[in-house]
Amino acid sequence: MKTVKDYIRTIVDFPHEGIMFRDVTTLFADPRGFRMAIDQMLHPFAGQEIDKVVGLEARGFILGGAIAHQLSTGFVPVRKKGKLPGPVISEEYHLEYGEAVVELHDDAITAGEKILVVDDLLATGGTAAAGIRLIERLGGEIVGCSFIIDLPALGGRKKLEAMGMEVETLCAFDGL
């Protein structure tokens, strides 16, 4: 029987030499694989109250929309700077080379709402941590973070757990 990891292809030296890019588009393209991933991402949070799913740009939108549909909840995107219309709050974070900014509509989450954060890949945890800070600034209560892939060597899980987050992943890959 195939696992979620079996549906993910690795592209060597993309986008730069030395990087092993973990491509989830092959997982998304397969109906059984995609269903398996969504079901497994939801499983650890079964029975918990979840008011909204927050998806991190960009593949988190695909996963978050499907998970929100399964839960019959709302979906909220955390986007790169300048992509959301209307009033937003912003959070800057560090990348390997430089800085980036993510944004959230300032009325997207009501204080006290229970939030599940989702994305495809947990690497350094920078984007997820920035998204978490935005949610918390609006008073959202994060029930957990769910990812398909963990790259343990980059320390993202430890970073999010140090923030008090429950982190669930479906598979892990060694290296970068």
Annotated catalytic, 96? Answer: yes
- Who's near 41: CB < 8 A, 6+ residues apart? 63, 67, 118, 146, 147, 148, 168, 170
**Of the residues 9, 49, 96, 113, which is catalytic?**
96
Report how far residue 19's alpha carbon sits from residue 74's, in angstroms, rounded to the nearest whole number: 35
Show Cβ contacts of residue 16 under 8 Å, excluding neighbours closer than 6 positions.
none
Paired with 119 in beta bridges are 147
Query: CA geometry: angle at 70 spanning 69 and 72, to 5°?
Result: 60
Catalytic-role residue among 22, 59, 79, 157: 59
35 is catalytic: no
Catalytic center residues? 59, 96
